[in-house]
Structure 1
């Protein structure tokens, strides 16, 4: 099959992640249109390759990927429409979440400011159902346009989709191409609320080191960071990988961290917390690798 776009080979993935950890990808492409995206999926299916969909590269640790990595950063764009006291906003998957938030705020939209500070794309935020300070992306979602694993476009309504805490039906239901949101117009100024969110985020998150964000999901009725700290993991390291000295649930790269070191660190932490507290922690960060005959599959990151 002849592709009508640039396909890079043997690409190092670390620069495309916020943790700056990554192996090599067999192929990497950055489509800029829906047709190019569909063409890439057809190519991967014909070649029997796994497909990794990568946005801003936060919340993920990448090993070697013997398949096709699709970066969505060129698939970006926003449309805003006023409907009475509400805003309807459509965003392509590669649009930075920060750009969506800035646009919604400029139009006086409520709620989304709580997600400020996430280094994510819209598609990635939907796929992980990103959330903070009492709000989740799915709270504002009305529909999603996806490219199904068969390479066909499909529009899915919010009520058809099962979202959970940091979970969604994607990429199993398809690759998120566009998300449509609805926001209530605020009755008062929002800038002070935004500043407060950013202030709180800055106070609890590590600065100056590459990070993927939270390593583990908060267990019901508790906090992963407190459990990890109580078990001695604040600032704990395995090689170059470790937990932040500022917040025990933040995975950071102290320098030269490898995929294997991150995996060892997370396994050690989850085993120790289970042993000492009886709580089983579930990873929030995704560890993704594909080696050898992996076969066709859509993989989200």
Structure 2
């Protein structure tokens, strides 16, 4: 298992912004992940879990960063109700989507273009176009913060809009799904979704995905545009001209620039429209964040 000190995190995030992590490890197996948890306990430092660094804005990290990107593998079994798929947390979501297209499976193809791992997608209950990844989830296995493995039925996990109990409960090791086969070909709709993303999202620029959650009955991007911040630039970051709810890195951007831009949008939308925007992106710095687990 790879263990390092003083690691720059910018190469490990899709926004290409990142401070320095005091400690960094990349487990490949469950037992190595357990060793990471024990190491953090011995050193008395918090843990931040990363997959591919999507949906993450991170500064300097005073603790242990655990990257699950090498915890990969996928197993498939035919069932009478569809296809059962067990996937390791570090497997790219793209791999699972490719299987869904090949086997003509329901739902998952709508997440095409998400640069996440399966574990990361489960942890944030990733969703798009009326679909959430938890819809076809049957079980999740995770290590709790004492290193014990739990296998929990999805129906016992409180998933909600872009939210799950992870990493509060622990670190996802693998997820199991049961996907029904679609009665109609899904590939054509997949192509339509992919083309729509190309036209409406800055997919060719460094971004962390949606910056804010959509308020009930509205869209964060519409609100940001309404207060005149679409395309607004601060230093080396900006709200995209293509989609106002996406922050883009124009080259060499810093954590401070990005967090300041986020605050500008929150303040302006609240001041002018009376609506409080809630971040969808996880913001991590120092030793404190919702993304941390303090051992």
Cα distance in 2, alignment partners of residues 255 and 174 from structure 1:
34
Equivalence map 1:250-289=2 (5 Å): 250-289=246-285
User: In structure 1, what is the equivalent of residue 120 of structure 2?
Assistant: 124
User: In structure 2, what is the equivalent of residue 134 of structure 1?
Assistant: 130
Q: Deviations over 1:220-264 (max 9, x none)?
A: 000000000010110111111210011111111112211111111
* Alpha carbons 1:216, 1:249 under 8 Å: kept: yes
100-109 vs 47-56, which moves further: 100-109
* Alpha carbons 1:170, 1:176 under 8 Å: kept: yes
* Alpha carbons 2:141, 2:175 under 8 Å: kept: yes
Q: Does 1:290 align with 2:286?
A: yes
Match of 2:165 among 166, 169, 174: 169
User: In structure 1, what is the equivalent of residue 215 of structure 2?
Assistant: 219
- Per the TM alignment, residue 207 of structure 1 is displaced from its structure 2 partner at its CA by 4.0
Cα distance in 1, alignment partners of residues 222 and 126 from structure 2:
21
- Per the TM alignment, residue 8 of structure 1 is displaced from its structure 2 partner at its CA by 0.7
Moved over 6 A (4+): none
User: In structure 1, what is the equivalent of residue 195 of structure 2?
Assistant: 199
Q: Does 1:68 align with 2:58?
A: no
Cα distance in 2, alignment partners of residues 121 and 140 from structure 1:
16
Q: 1:211 to 1:299 in 2, by over 3 A?
A: farther
* Alpha carbons 1:22, 1:61 under 8 Å: kept: yes
- Per the TM alignment, residue 299 of structure 1 is displaced from its structure 2 partner at its CA by 4.3
Count of matched residue pairs: 293
TM-score normalized by the length of structure 1? 0.94
Match of 1:184 among 160, 180, 183: 180
User: In structure 1, what is the equivalent of residue 2 of structure 2?
Assistant: 6
* Alpha carbons 1:80, 1:89 under 8 Å: kept: yes
Q: Deviations over 1:150-182 (max 9, x none)?
A: 111001111211111111100111100000111
Match of 1:92 among 88, 91, 106: 88
Cα distance in 1, alignment partners of residues 108 and 143 from structure 2:
25
- Per the TM alignment, residue 85 of structure 1 is displaced from its structure 2 partner at its CA by 3.7
Cα distance in 2, alignment partners of residues 207 and 111 from structure 1:
21
User: In structure 2, what is the equivalent of residue 154 of structure 1?
Assistant: 150
TM-score normalized by the length of structure 2? 0.96
* Alpha carbons 1:144, 1:180 under 8 Å: kept: yes
* SS in structure 1 at match of 2:158: coil
Cα distance in 2, alignment partners of residues 127 and 27 from structure 1:
22
Q: Which blocks of at least 5 consecutive residues in structure 2 are unaligned?
A: none
**RMSD over aligned Cα, in angstroms?**
1.5
Cα distance in 2, alignment partners of residues 210 and 193 from structure 1:
26
* Alpha carbons 1:149, 1:298 under 8 Å: kept: no
User: In structure 2, what is the equivalent of residue 30 of structure 1?
Assistant: 26
Q: 1:207 to 1:182 in 2, by over 3 A?
A: closer
* SS in structure 2 at match of 1:179: strand
* SS in structure 2 at match of 1:274: helix
